[in-house]
């Protein structure tokens, strides 16, 4: 059956001169990929998976103007072939937009779709770009798979792409609601297969009709990867609620905007407090303090019960904030430890996400090695607990805000509980419920001067947090970090960080992290104070101070300006190696557009000697040791 479908589709492609002649459309329908798969749940517990091989192809119809094509299959359910799968494609903004729908008997529900499935010849030299954290470039394994899960740290934006000397293959969803989805790139020696897999909301099947509520595009561009994203992805997200306002028009807590340097104390050990006091005295007023393990249980255990805080925490908050710093303590916005007494007294089982079989999503972390279950943001129980916890921190402990972990990092899960405020399954309700919670916190708890921050950069929450911490981008000698997030969002959001540190800051990795953080527009530091005030780290302490002051003096770039690209600098520029295997030039640069529309180039020297460099436009510049320069 599959071969006959392919033959019929190929004949249709060759016989008409319409949208079907578009090579990007042919990539979806004119090859041996199944194009779609659909999993169902029946009233008696049936769970079939359909694909074109198990269906009857009925043909392709074209609109009168030739701008829209619809392919139809019949499927057999309950001894009837009356039920259909419909795939449509039409051009929008110069891109083919694919949609998927089906008709079903009453009592049947779509639980998952894979659509579209696109098989293409593998361009020579192809590498994948995945929006993990800032963005990462991967080699595409032969016989292996790359995965991006949206919205989460592994998929902060809803696209994947490949690039090669021939151009880019671009695969993206146009979902303005942030529904959970997976993107896959499978590789063989000769082919690439792109797939979007979507766990469904039961609410998407109504009165016997299922519709996937967004379109998906697949297209080829002969431009570079960054030009392709600026042409196709950025215009889409600027139409979405989360990115509709530039940073200069958003309401951002003022101290977050001016927090050019962050310190990251963990626990209340004497050496931590001593070095924290040194940091507050050494660095300029406005220092951000992101405080871990201030609560009375071990880290990553007994969530969501935090109080009372460790002895002296409240007094330290008052002390450092009186000196001009700002404290945002860590809490977790997603996990509940079932060993916590609250799990019974506060009905944690009712607040938890449930799989289709009724069991719990359960996670273990190396930081604690204890069981944590995933709570449902649609649970009123959970929303109330987060509201109580944040209210206590900002009102009773006097903090300048709260850092709510995992909202921007951890993926949404399908939840099949019937007790929560959403349809069973997956869908847009997960980000919608977090958005509801964050808006409530903003109006009822935080007000205009208390900040809400989170870790990692799932885009669908971008307008609701004052700052994103981005530190989990994969990187190695084989995996290259790319400034994908700054390219799309540098003028829409405040963000900080780049990578994690190890205690030996003097080996060069601290200089690299903060130098590149500056170039990509991030706030600096996010460093344990006891590491920073080791006797061997005088150069590193001063480098962070100087870069922080440089950043503060150039907010017309970093607060509302737009990252354009990294600069290919020429000259006798030595390299240095960090993280054991990654090699970078000691002088690096970036091009930005300022708030006023001017062009600015930033150069950072992470080495001990002044270096002369030549910019792409031919200008020459001398960059002093351990310093930044604006041209």
3-state secondary structure 439-450: HHHHHHHHHHHC
* Tens-place pLDDT, residues 360-382: 999 999 888 899 999 999 999 99
The residue-averaged pLDDT of 94-107 equals 96
Q: Look at residue 33 in the predicted model and tell me its pLDDT.
A: 59
Question: Helices in 30-175 by DSSP H: which ranges?
Answer: none
- What are 1-48's pLDDT values in tens digits? 334 444 444 444 433 446 877 888 887 876 555 899 999 999 999 999
Give, as one character, the DSSP assignment of residue 415.
B
Comparing 617 with 10, the larger pLDDT belongs to 617
State the Cα–Cα distance between residues 367 and 298, nearest whole angstrom: 9
Share of the chain above pLDDT 70, in %: 97
CA nearest neighbour of 531 among 551, 548, 553, 514 = 514
- What is the distance between the alpha carbons of residues 424 and 19, in angstroms, rounded to a whole number? 37
User: Which pLDDT band holds residue 66 (cuts at 50, 70, 90)?
Assistant: confident
Residue 308 preceded by cis peptide, ω within 30: yes
Residue 523's Cβ-count burial label (10 Å; 0-12, 13-18, 19+) is buried
Which pLDDT score is estimated for 451?
A: 98
Is the bond preceding 116 in cis, omega lying within 30 degrees of 0?
A: yes
Which residues lie across from 528 on neighbouring strands? none
Residues with Cβ within 8 Å of 15's Cβ and at least 6 positions away in sequence, in order, are none
19/550: higher pLDDT:
550
Cα 628 from Cα 515, distance rounded (Å): 8
pLDDT digits (tens, 9 = 90+) for 428-455: 999 999 999 999 999 999 989 999 999 9
Measure Cα distances from 312 to 376, 394, 484, 514, 577 in Å.
Answer: 33, 16, 42, 31, 41
Closest CA to 98 of 125, 126, 83, 118: 118
Tell me the C-alpha distance between 544 and 522, whole Å: 13
Q: Tell me how far CA of residue 134 lies from CA of 129, 485, 487, 522, in angstroms.
A: 11, 5, 9, 11
Do 169 and 218 meet the contact criterion of CB atoms below 8 Å apart? yes
Rounded to whole angstroms, how far apart are CA atoms 66 and 312? Answer: 72
Query: For residues 532 and 360, what is the distance between their CA atoms, to the nearest angstrom?
Result: 41
Instruction: Count how many Cα atoms sit within 13 Å of the Cα of residue 320 in the half-sphere of its side chain.
Output: 32
What sign results for the dihedral spanned by CA atoms 481, 487, 488, 489?
A: positive
- With a cut of 60, say whether residue 84 has pLDDT above it: yes
Cis peptide leading into residue 412 (ω within 30°): no
Strand, coil or helix: 137: strand
Q: In whole numbers, what is the pLDDT of the chain averaged over residues?
A: 94
Q: Which residues contact 415 (CB under 8 A, 6 or more apart)?
A: 353, 354, 376, 378, 422, 424, 425, 430
What is the token pair recorded at 354? 């449930």
The whole-angstrom separation of Cα 282 and Cα 270 is 18
Angle, helix 380-391 to helix 429-441, in steps of 10 degrees: 30
| φ, ψ for residue 59, nearest 5 deg | 125, 180
pTM for this prediction: 0.94
Which residues does residue 206 pair with via DSSP β-bridges, in sequence order?
A: 209
* 321 vs 368: CA distance, rounded Å: 30
Q: What's the rounded mean pLDDT across residues 38-64?
A: 95
Pairing of strands 467-469, 495-496: parallel
The C-alpha atoms of residue 440 and residue 447 are separated, in whole angstroms, by 10
Weakest-pLDDT range from 188-202, 364-378, 382-396, 604-618: 364-378
* Contact indicator for 260, 523 with CB cutoff of 8 Å: yes
Assess whether pLDDT exceeds 70 at residue 247.
yes
Over range 512-520, report the average pLDDT.
Answer: 98
Domains of the chain: 2-241 (2.70.98)
The pLDDT of residue 13 is 42
Would you give the DSSP letter of residue 392?
I
């Amino acid at each position: 059956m599959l071969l006959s479908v392919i033959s019929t589709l190929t004949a249709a492609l060759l016989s008409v001169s319409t949208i079907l002649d578009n090579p990007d459309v042919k990539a979806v329908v004119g090859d041996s990929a199944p194009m779609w798969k659909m999993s169902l749940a029946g009233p008696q517990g049936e769970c079939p998976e359909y694909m074109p091989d198990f269906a009857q192809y009925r043909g392709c119809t074209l609109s009168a103007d030739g701008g829209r094509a619809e392919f139809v299959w019949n499927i057999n359910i309950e001894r009837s072939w009356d039920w259909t799968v419909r795939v449509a494609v039409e051009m929008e903004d110069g891109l083919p937009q694919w949609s998927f729908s089906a008709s079903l008997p009453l009592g049947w529900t779509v639980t998952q779709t894979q659509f579209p499935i696109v098989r293409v010849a593998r361009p020579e030299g192809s590498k994948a770009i995945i929006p993990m954290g800032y963005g990462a470039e991967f080699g595409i394994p032969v016989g292996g798979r790359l995965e991006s899960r949206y919205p989460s740290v592994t998929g902060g934006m809803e696209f994947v792409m490949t690039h090669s000397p021939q151009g880019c293959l671009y695969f993206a969803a146009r979902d303005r609601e942030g529904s959970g989805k997976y993107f896959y790139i499978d590789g063989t020696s000769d082919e690439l297969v792109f797939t979007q897999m979507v766990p469904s909301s039961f609410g998407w099947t109504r009165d016997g009709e299922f519709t996937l509520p967004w379109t998906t595009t697949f297209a080829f561009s002969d431009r570079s990867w960054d030009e392709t994203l600026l042409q196709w992805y950025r215009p889409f997200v600027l139409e979405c609620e989360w990115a509709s306002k530039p940073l200069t028009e958003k309401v951002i807590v003022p101290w977050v905007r001016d927090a050019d340097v962050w310190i990251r104390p963990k626990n209340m050990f004497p050496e931590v407090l001593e070095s924290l006091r040194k940091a507050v005295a050494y660095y300029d007023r406005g220092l951000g303090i992101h405080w871990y393990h201030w609560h009375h249980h071990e880290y990553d255990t007994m969530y969501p019960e935090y109080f009372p805080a460790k002895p002296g925490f409240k007094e330290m908050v008052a002390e450092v904030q009186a000196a001009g710093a700002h404290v945002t303590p860590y809490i977790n916005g997603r996990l509940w430890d079932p060993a916590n007494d609250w799990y019974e007294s506060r009905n944690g089982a009712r607040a938890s996400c449930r799989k289709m079989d009724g069991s719990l999503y359960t996670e273990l972390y190396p930081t604690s090695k204890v069981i944590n279950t995933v709570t449902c943001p649609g649970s009123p129980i959970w929303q109330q607990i987060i509201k109580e916890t944040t209210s206590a921190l900002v009102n009773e402990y006097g903090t300048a805000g709260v850092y709510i972990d995992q909202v921007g990092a951890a993926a949404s899960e399908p939840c099949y509980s019937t007790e929560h405020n959403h349809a069973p399954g997956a869908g847009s309700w997960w980000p919608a419920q977090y958005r509801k919670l964050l808006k409530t916190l903003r109006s009822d708890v935080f007000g205009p001067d208390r900040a809400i921050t989170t870790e990692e950069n799932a885009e669908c929450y971008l307008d609701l947090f004052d700052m994103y911490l981005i530190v989990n981008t994969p990187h190695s000698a084989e995996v290259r970090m790319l400034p994908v997030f700054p390219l799309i969002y540098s003028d829409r959001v405040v963000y900080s960080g780049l990578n994690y540190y190890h205690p030996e800051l003097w080996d060069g990795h601290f200089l690299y992290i903060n130098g590149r953080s500056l170039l990509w527009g991030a706030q600096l530091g996010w460093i344990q104070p006891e590491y920073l005030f080791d006797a061997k780290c005088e150069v590193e302490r001063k480098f962070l101070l100087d870069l922080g002051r440089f950043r503060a003096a150039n907010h017309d770039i970093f607060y509302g300006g737009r990252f354009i690209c990294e600069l290919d600098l020429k000259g006798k520029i030595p390299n240095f190696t960090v993280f054991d295997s990654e090699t970078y030039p000691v002088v690096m640069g970036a091009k930005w557009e300022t708030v006023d529309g001017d062009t600015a180039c930033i150069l950072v020297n992470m080495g001990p000697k002044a270096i002369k460099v030549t910019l792409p436009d031919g200008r020459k510049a001398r960059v002093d040791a351990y310093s930044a320069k604006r041209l």
